């Protein structure tokens, strides 16, 4: 049973004061939006009941319902006792037909399962397209995000709850979720895994740690696969990445050691879709140099409000370590712990005294992979990714297919104006021609 200590009077007063401040900010923001005539959706010709329902939806069930679909909720208990909510998408009044085609979608860092069904048009939602074709469609969630903030023993108020990174996503969340879905079906149909960004990294890492998962999969579709990203765009953020990689405590001193982006829903509500879209756009320019030119204003207003969700600060530290090392590796727990000052005097000496465990993906891959990426995305280094897949694994040379989208940035493979013709139609063509395979 989770134990929560009694809050002190000072803590109660602080939380009450923050509540009053939040209420005032909400009323002030509403006044300014009304006074300056800021619309919920600025493009009047696209202002529809459907779009407003999506913008104001509180969860994935409401988003799906607005589009004529139903969400069935399942709860996966991981081997380390986290409870993950997994969403099964269905067409209203259309039961499973039993043909054996199953697709599992997994989101990226700081997002959740809603990410895949936020397209401004029906054909910009790959899960809807697959359900329409009779597929069984599942959408997963990482521990700690909006839908999965539950543990059998730990409270989210406990820093121990947030002591996870890509290691735990790969070792527990992905394998346990795939195992759960596999056990739903008596025929043990193989699963087509469709990941976005970190959702790809998690499967690559899982397959490197648990190669038996290859036998569960029919195909792996990797949308904007972030494996070893380039450094962030702005010089200040580059310094933060470097310092964080050298000393784990650096980022914790700014962000704490629990959740990151814990107030994102509040600020989205306060700012409203129009202002929030501009703030997110500017942030993406400073962080990654993305222009957002391939995504319409309407699509951004529909998507940005649902795009972000909690994760641990530790998971961000882990990515900064990977970026700095330019190596797909497990979390470096030690930094300088267990090492003398002399042994860490230079990077060369430290590398001789301590080697971080890798995710050895090239040695264990045995599944057809479709890589989908743009050439204007600093989070995707395709040459490094292909090298990791193919090096010391010649059988993958005939199992690797690419869809290169010139001018595409990271989010464009989900929300680009022409995403159906450039991405989704090609993905469907590849995975549809593979007949269902069964686990013996």
Q: Whole-angstrom Cα distance, residue 170 to residue 328?
A: 13
Task: Please indicate whether residue 158 is annotated as part of the active site.
Answer: no
Radius of gyration of the chain (CA): 22
Three-state secondary-structure class, residue 374: strand
Residues 6 or more apart whose CB falls under 8 angstroms from that of 384 comprise 227, 228, 326
Task: Please indicate whether residue 410 is annotated as part of the active site.
Answer: yes
Q: Whole-angstrom Cα distance, residue 166 to residue 153?
A: 21
Residue 102, φ and ψ in degrees, nearest 5: -125, 130
Is 315 in contact with 109 (CB distance < 8 Å)? yes
Tokens representing 11 are 């803590």
Is 133 in contact with 282 (CB distance < 8 Å)? no
Catalytic residue among 113, 197, 208, 309: 197
Q: Whole-angstrom Cα distance, residue 276 to residue 269?
A: 9
Burial class (CB in 10 A: 0-12, 13-18, 19+), 342: exposed
Catalytic residue among 315, 381, 410, 412: 410
Residues 6 or more apart whose CB falls under 8 angstroms from that of 240 comprise 232, 250, 251, 320
Of 202, 323, 194, 317, the closest CA to residue 256 belongs to 317
Residue 185, φ and ψ in degrees, nearest 5: -105, 130
Burial class (CB in 10 A: 0-12, 13-18, 19+), 340: exposed
Active-site residue list: 197, 377, 410
């Amino acid at each position: 049973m989770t134990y929560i200590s009694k809050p002190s009077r000072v803590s109660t007063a602080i939380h009450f004061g923050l509540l009053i401040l939040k209420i005032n900010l909400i009323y002030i923001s509403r006044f300014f939006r009304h006074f300056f005539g800021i619309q919920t959706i600025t493009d009047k010709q696209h202002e529809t009941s459907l779009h407003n329902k999506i913008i104001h939806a509180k969860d994935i069930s409401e988003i799906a319902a607005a589009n004529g679909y139903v969400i069935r909720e399942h709860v996966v208990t991981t081997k380390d006792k986290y409870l993950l909510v997994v969403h099964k998408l269905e067409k209203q009044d259309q039961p499973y037909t039993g043909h054996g085609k199953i697709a599992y979608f997994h989101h990226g860092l700081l997002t959740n399962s809603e990410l895949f069904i936020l397209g401004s048009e029906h054909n910009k939602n790959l899960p809807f397209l697959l359900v329409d074709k009779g597929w069984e469609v599942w959408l997963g969630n990482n521990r700690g995000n909006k839908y999965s903030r539950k543990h059998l023993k730990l409270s989210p108020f406990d820093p121990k709850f947030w002591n996870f990174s890509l290691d735990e996503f790969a070792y527990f969340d992905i394998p346990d979720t795939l195992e759960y879905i596999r056990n739903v079906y008596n025929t043990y149909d193989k699963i087509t895994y469709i990941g976005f960004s970190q959702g790809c990294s998690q499967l690559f890492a899982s397959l490197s740690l648990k190669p038996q998962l290859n036998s569960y999969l029919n195909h792996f579709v990797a949308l904007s696969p972030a494996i070893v990203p380039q450094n962030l765009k702005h010089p200040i953020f580059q310094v933060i990445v470097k310092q964080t990689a050298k000393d784990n405590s650096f980022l914790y001193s700014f962000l704490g050691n629990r959740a990151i982006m814990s107030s994102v829903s509040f600020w989205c509500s306060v700012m409203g879709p129009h202002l929030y879209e501009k703030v997110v756009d500017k942030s993406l320019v400073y962080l990654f140099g993305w222009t957002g030119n391939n995504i319409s204003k309407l699509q951004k207003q529909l998507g940005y409000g649902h795009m972000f969700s909690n994760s641990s600060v530790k998971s961000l530290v882990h990515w900064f370590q990977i970026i700095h090392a330019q190596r797909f590796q497990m979390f470096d727990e030690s930094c300088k712990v267990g090492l003398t000052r002399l042994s860490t005097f230079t990077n060369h000496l430290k590398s001789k005294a301590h080697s971080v465990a890798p995710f050895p993906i090239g040695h264990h891959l045995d599944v057809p992979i479709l890589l989908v990426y743009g050439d204007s995305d600093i989070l995707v280094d395709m040459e490094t990714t292909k090298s990791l897949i193919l090096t010391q694994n010649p059988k993958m040379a005939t199992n690797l297919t690419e869809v290169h989208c010139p001018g595409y940035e990271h989010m464009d493979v989900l929300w680009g104006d022409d995403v159906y013709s450039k991405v989704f139609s090609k993905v469907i063509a590849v995975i549809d021609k593979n007949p269902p395979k069964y686990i013996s």
